[in-house]
Structure 1
Amino acid sequence: AFHVDMPHVVATTAEHPAVIETLKMYEQLGILKYTLAPVTSEGNADPATVAECITTSTCLVTCMHANNEVGALTDIAAVSRACRQRAEEMKLPEGQLLIHTDAAQSVGKVPVSVKAMDVDMLTVVGHKFGAPKGIAALVVVGDELHEGPKRLVPLLSGGSQERGARAGTENVPYIVGLGEAARIATEELDDYMNRTERIRSIMLADLQVACSSRGIDMIVHGPSPSDRRLPNTLSVALLGVDAKPMLSAVGADGVAASGGAACHSGTGSVSGSHVLVAMGHGGANDVLRGTMRLSVGRLTTEDEARRGVQVLVDQLASS
């Protein structure tokens, strides 16, 4: 941001609220301007569309690797290539444009390589792959973002911990937990992907049979090819069904399901899903009202998943 008077940030319309709401706040404070690039109908970002949003004032492009609601994966390496090429064509000063990816949902679920993605920064969230809640990390490539004119502004000011990037005594037990969880997740990644993809497919098949027998049309959100979505996430819309009372009822039977993202399912509303709206469902009330998200955990068994679907189906029959 040291090259321009008013920094400009590019994100996408399907980013996590942690990104979008922060950008809104900083724009209101007069700290930056931002542009949200539209996503595809599958919920992932198109590299060319993101790159087209870059201006002479753009200092940061941030794009999530995996969507937290529908599981859509974005080819971050392609986004990086398109954005760096655009910066070169526009003759932006070397080093002005930084690229960040939010890998909160993907680390531990699919292969993630900072080098292959060609990003400058990558966010990791520990509890998404088995670390304690309350620990995360920002992976920063190279030394120049720690020193000199391009040094990142500290998240917290005060002490010089973490090379001046975040003041405060480090939470060593949680940091160790993050590292150990990352090690285990890496070792078990292939098995995790195969197992969760298989269980997810079983849940989808059971739902399809139940909906077909009841004359209910079902839409599966996100990309169909397995290499373009998270293996553990299933987001569907049951047309003509109000998912909200269903999801509330199944909770009493020990089934955890949500209308959208689990981290803000407590809002009790899927009509506010900015991701579904970004995917083009803004005017489709049936889709918004009937959407539910099911995800397979690391310890979820096939029997548990099938029981969960059956509880949903039973509730569907009584609604």
Structure 2
Amino acid sequence: MLEQLGLFTKKYLFATLLIIIGIVLVAVAVIPHEALQRTQSGEFLLGGISILIAGIVSLLYSLELINKLIHFSVMIILFVFCGILTVLSIQSLQDTIEKKKAYEQYVKEVKQSLDDIRQVQLKYKKKYGKFATSFDELKRFLTKDQVYNTIPVVLHPSGQIPDRQPKGWELDTLGYDPFEDEALIQDGIDEEEAIKLGYFRVDTMWVPVMEDLFYSEEAKKNAEEREFEFDPQKLDVIRNTGDKTYQFKLVTKELDSLSNAMLVIDTYAFNPFKEDGQPRDTMKLGSLDLSDESTNGSWEQ
């Protein structure tokens, strides 16, 4: 009995495994992937069908329903066909990797653009009380307007406010008693105390908007983290859109006589993994549905 079972297994196991594997692969290929919202590639489906056919042919040969020549010929053909599919699958994988890189870079640059628009809009609102209603107005604001800004000036010879407790004449100038004001003394010298001591002052002056937002010392520190160099004339342009030019759409809504809401929309919504007609995750900035003049990005919620 065991000998017969062993012979049966030896004779039909390989063919049976090929058939099972082929059925599983075909099923995986035709059932849409939940995350991708689409089926596997055509090469994957053909590969599954090839393995299924190889299993069926091997089973027919084991049952002695076809001769050795037919079995050998079919298996050679399927072997060559699977080799071709392997090459195509590798090319398809490389294409998928390139698409993923392009999509990730696109998302980074759109986020950078929307964040730039947010900074300019917030600065505009700080001066005029409302968001700008057009990109032309934002560009004018960037290139021709000025904002009132505060500039800290350190007067101490070290170039910074002393990071220590006041002592000697500094205590007299500040009017501190070493015993009664011990807690204040232990806190060290803050900006208000530095002003009284002549170590620090805050100047106010009008500065160009571009300089304040993108050429200040703080902006220069963050320049290396940017995805591209800022260009005020391209504030509304969506980058990496191929031969066609796409622009962000700016919509505003009056909330009352003193305030408004804004919404900026990525009109291109590039996603190489979505078929035509499939819904896409369009990146946006702000909202017209809220009454709090939101400037949150859709990727931040």
- TM bucket (normalised to shorter chain) is under 0.3
Structure with the bigger percentage of helix: 2
With structure 2 as the length reference, what TM-score do the two structures score?
0.17
**Structure exhibiting the larger radius of gyration computed from Cα positions:** 2
- RCO greater where, 1 or 2, for CA within 8 Å and sep 6 or more? 1
